[in-house]
Structure 1
Amino acid sequence: MTSPGPIVDLDTGTAIARPAAVDAAGFLPGGPLPLVLELPFTVVARGAGALVPLHEALRRSGRHPRDTMLLLSGPCGAAERPVLQVTLDGLDNLGYLLGFGGAGLESVPLDMVAEVSPYLLALSPEVVARVPRDHRAVAVARAVVELARGIGAHVLAPGIAEQAQLAAVRGWGVRLAHGPLLAPGRDGRVRVPLPAPAEAAGMGAQLGPRVQELVMPAVTLPAEAKAEEVVAAFGDEPSITSVILVDEYQRPQGSLDRGRFLLSIAARYGHALHATKPARRLADPPRTVPKSTPAVAAMRAAGQDSARVYDDLVVTDELNRCMGIVRVSDLIRQVTAANG
């Protein structure tokens, strides 16, 4: 997937991931943001052995599957489905986030999309390019959004180039997008155009009361990471609000809030005292919520510790692995919208 910029959360204006590819030397880009890699179905259909180069590229680049989303693309035939299902189950067990690209155009059976229950459905760029002038494209896009809502997946709108396209996808409740209109400025920051008042008034009703709809990829580091590594992560991307320390199984071990951590480092002698020491010395216990937690219950959990009321919550799966984070500001908007 090519893109002029990162994938952006339209609600908060933050860059949450970036499209990438394995380079000629077999490495992936550095930086703290999670990566989105295109993976053709033709490769997946060849079985687990065909994916060894992918795993090796992650290992050589010091990245983990949980920080990587695989965007599956291309047509998928009925004869390939048994192998595909086994291979996709294996990728899921390794911790990769799975998504389907070309939604609304490429021929991925809808029942397969529902069975896999992907993290993300990416609309076809061709469909987005025809929005909002072509009512048929609008109907297709809205159908994809409704399917995603039913299975608890995010929707990505690629190639946003015009204000009218941005207003349309926002009106459907789409939160993730990329394209020329959302490309970073010269200072590296993303500036998302504000919705018009009428548009903003209709956005809240689109959101359902489920935490899984609000999960954003987490920036994670190994539990033994040094404080200077966390400083580098926060310094590379100003929109990062937290860094989650995880063990070898991606289970959260500590949470580093941006404000408190950088304040400790910036204090007198702070860098000298902490930079080369384990970051875990400055971490708080992670505030975890299972992925099935209702938004209102998650917001109540956030309010139990007044000193950390706005800290990001860590969303975990059935094996207590870190799936991502939920920002308290998102929970507040979710619950407020649901209560009308």
Structure 2
Amino acid sequence: MTVHSPTSSAASLPAAASETRSAHPAPGGLPMFRPIVDLDTGGVIAVEAAAGGTPAGYSRDIAPAVSAAYAAGREEARLPLVLTVPSGAVIDGSAALAPLHEAMRATRRRPREVVLVVSGDFPPEHRRGLLVGMEGLRTIGYLVAVGGLGASHMPLDLIADASPYAAVLSPELVDRIPGDPRRGALARAVAQMAKGMGIHVLAPLVREEAQLTMLRRWGIRLAQGPLLAPIDWRPSHGRVHVPLPVPAEPEPSAIDLGPRVQEFLMPAVTFGTQATAEEVADALAAEPSITSVILVDEYQRPRASVERGRFLLSIAGPYGHALHAKKPAHRLADPPRIVPKTTPAIAAMQVAGKDSARVYDDLVVVDEVGRCMGIVHVGDLIRHVADLRPAAP
């Protein structure tokens, strides 16, 4: 699957939360953090946290995900968080996942800023239970993804039924491209399937530039792995190295309205409407890839949009900080530019162009009931529409 910003640092958590965190040590050694990289921009858009190995096969063990969540809280990782949860725990429902929900509460994570990757095999008779469990997580506000595609027993038609936010390729599949043409064909087919469904594709454990070249060729935009960041990377390390793409001849394509904006969706950094300007400034200062902060009400509906450049300009300097720091951030915000998730790319660009002073402000994507699903960078829409235009003769 940017860009999380808790309302306060992990150091300021209540004592009870600190005690709860200490009760969940990372199994199997120190926690690991892997940046999720947007290959188009080179920016880190999320952080995957892992504590110990994910159990193979059918598992109900939620402890590694809980430990990883607390570890991310200790690191004060402000970007959206990616956690792997076993299919068995999702099938068992809210009671089995209660420790994870408590970890989110204790570390002050908003569910909308957490991507839960459902992974692992499951008995065919539990298919309905898995779908119900995934829908329950979505109802709470989590972004739900499916993992292990291409080498697990996750039926492909279940992906269509589940409508996940993202699909994560199997690490074993990624590891065998481009050397194995058959595996490469499988990975490409999965990527094309997901793209047709409006689902993001994440390629894990990318080790070689040849792999990266093929992933880009297939339109896979999100990746993580040793090629992009060292194994000891931490959220505080910031940007990563992304090899430049090899120039390729664009394929001619007819102009149409383009895909829906949901295909370009990125997790949003959200705060409540009562957040102070100082809290927002801390989040922006901590991570340069955060382009905007969305202020939402208690129902996760967007109420205001804080654009990075204008906000920092307003609060810069001793007088700006003194005037605004302790006051509500919405005083320096603009009305959100809202588009439904079904809006075509070109129609979304028309929304962006209505206000010449805010042409490049992020668009806020909402679901059927007006809840914030994430943001879309206008630059992404522009690049896509440019690719659609046939080359001049």
Q: Calculate the TM-score normalised by the size of structure 1.
A: 0.94
The separation in 2 between residues aligned to 1:161 and 1:202, in whole angstroms, is 28
How many residues align? The count is 337
User: How much does 1:82 deviate?
Assistant: 2.1
Match for 2:347: what amino acid? Answer: A
1:45 CA displacement:
1.8
- Cα deviation for residue 76 of structure 1 reads 2.3
- CA gap of 1:301–1:231, structure 2 versus 1, over 3 A, is same
Which segments of 5 or more consecutive residues in structure 1 lack a partner in the other structure? Answer: none
Q: Quote the residue 1:266 is aligned against.
A: 316
Contact 1:28 1:58 in 2 (8 A): no
Match of 1:10 in 2: 39
The answer on 1:306 being equivalent to 2:356 is: yes
Distance 1:190 1:197, change over 3 A: same
Q: Which amino acid aligns with 1:210?
A: R
Instruction: Specify the alignment match of 2:6 in structure 1.
Output: none
Matched, 1:249 2:319: no
Distance across 2 between alignment mates of 1:73 and 1:203: 38
Alignment of 1:212-227 (within 5 A): 212-227=262-277
Q: Which residue of 2 aligns with 1:52?
A: 98
Per-residue CA deviation, residues 17-60 of structure 1 (Å, 9 max, x unaligned), is 11124338957423321101101001112222111111111111
**What is the aligned partner in structure 2 of residue 19 from structure 1?**
48
Q: 1:6 aligns to what SS in structure 2?
A: strand
The residue aligned with 1:297 is 347
Instruction: State the one-letter code of the partner of 1:315.
Output: V
RMSD over aligned Cα atoms:
2.2
> What is the CA deviation profile of residues 212-250 of structure 1, one whole-angstrom value per residue up to 9, with x for unaligned ones?
111111111111111111111111111111111111111
Other structure's SS at 1:198 match: coil
Instruction: Indicate the residue corresponding to 1:83 in structure 2.
Output: 129
Match of 1:278 in 2: 328
Identity %: 59
SS in 1 for 2:243: coil
Question: In the alignment, what sits opposite 2:145?
Answer: 99
Separation (CA, whole Å) in 1 of partners of 2:214 and 2:252 = 11
1:5: Cα distance to partner? 2.9
TM score, norm. by length of structure 2: 0.81
Q: 1:52 to 1:204 in 2, by over 3 A?
A: farther
User: Alpha-carbon deviation of 1:137?
Assistant: 1.2
Q: Equivalent residue for 1:135?
A: 181
Distance 1:87 1:150, change over 3 A: same
Query: Which deviates further from its counterpart, 228-237 or 299-308?
Result: 228-237
Aligned to 2:383: 333
Deviates more, 1:293-302 or 1:42-51: 42-51
Q: Is the 8 A contact 2:38 2:45 kept in 1?
A: yes
AA in 1 matched with 2:314: S
Q: Which runs of 4+ in 1 moved over 4 A?
A: 24-28, 184-187, 202-205
Q: Which amino acid aligns with 1:134?
A: D
* Contact persistence 1:6–1:16 (CA under 8 A): yes
Q: 1:77 to 1:154 in 2, by over 3 A?
A: same
Structure 1 counterpart of 2:313, one-letter code:
L
Which residue is equivalent to 2:200? 154
